[in-house]
Amino acid sequence: MDSRVLECFLRVAELGSINRAAVDLHLSQPALSRQIAALEHEMQVQLFIRSQGGVKLTDAGKLLSDRVRPLLRQFAIIKAQVGDRAAGQLAVGIPPSWHSVFTSSYLSTLLHDCPNVSLKVYENVSHILRDQLLAGAIDLAAVPFEQAPPSGYRQTVLLREPLVVVGPANKGFTAATPVSVQALDQQKLVMPGRPNALRNYLENTLARKGIKNTIAIETDTLRLCMELARQGAGLTVVPACAVYARPPGDDICWAPLKGLYLTWALFENEARSHSPAVQEGRRLFIETLKLQLTKGIWFGAEQIGTPH
């Protein structure tokens, strides 16, 4: 199977149109249609549902798309290593909640200091970043600390930050006054859907303490959790970094929860550790993080690891 055909297949799936994909790939529409038809013949299954509005993946097509992406990424890495061209490639995964306190500064520094690096940045929830890391799509990723990291991946503890409870302004929370986790007793909560490291940690903690609550709404982003909390749909619990751009004010209030913290670690794919781009990306990651912590803008965060 030609990897170029699979790349064409993915582009058609992403754009939902053979015509638009052909333009993007600098191919004629008939040539691209023949490639897709040949791939369907080889797979012995229909991959797209065609309509006047474009194309959509069939269930078989979705399965192929999900399986092909990490394979192509692995193939690209192997090809680059064999050809000694991996030096300039770097793929980094960072949680969305870090955007204001870290990501913008890190990327600015990286682009300034390493202008020749071919960079990919993935902003996503932690369990997806971890899956992408294990699939070989990401070289470095900031995710919650794990007691037993998977084989082939190095874990460097970075920092610990408090968890904060967020609600509408009339709840009366203040950043200067930590509250007991008992404040969540009998409350409606707005939390990320499973699987989610923060939710697992919170639910386990509440269960040990016998605290009852109801998950009123599940979302896929912390931003939406905070917005729903602002509207009074329920309280939410987020890492302190998520409230950087939302100081307590007229619309929301928040306070740290006593004794509840989230520990972050930097995971590195050891198969890519030899790459100068990965080494430089890791060095700048650590340096930028140290700098951001010294600024005091990351509420309650403290470095607890000894990066090397």
Q: Give mean pLDDT, residues 292-300.
A: 91
- Assess whether pLDDT exceeds 80 at residue 16: yes
Q: Is 205 exposed, middle or buried (0-12, 13-18, 19+ CB in 10 A)?
A: middle
- Residue predicted with more confidence, 114 or 81: 114
The Cα–Cα gap between 246 and 242 comes to 8
Across the range 141-170, mean pLDDT stands at: 92
Which pLDDT score, from 0 to 100, does residue 307 have? 47
Q: Residue 308: what pLDDT?
A: 46
Tokens encoding 188: 């409606």
pLDDT of residue 93: 96
Predicted confidence (pLDDT) at residue 123 exceeds the cutoff of 50: yes
Mean pLDDT of 35-48: 92
Computed over every residue of the chain, the mean pLDDT equals: 88
What band does 57 get if pLDDT is binned at 50, 70 and 90?
very high
Choice between 1 and 214, residue whose per-residue pLDDT is larger: 214
pLDDT at 85 over 70: no
Domains and CATH numbers, the chain: 3-82 (1.10.10.10), 87-159+264-303 (3.40.190.10), 161-262 (3.40.190.290)
pLDDT band at 286 (very low <50, low <70, confident <90, very high): very high
Written as six digits, the tokens of 270 are 């050891």
The larger pLDDT score, comparing residue 241 to residue 148, is at 241
Cα distances (angstroms) measured from residue 155 to each of 52, 143, 270: 49, 10, 10
Per the structure block, which two tokens stand in for 16? 């939902």
Asked if 171 and 253 count as a contact pair (C-beta separation under 8 A), the reply is yes
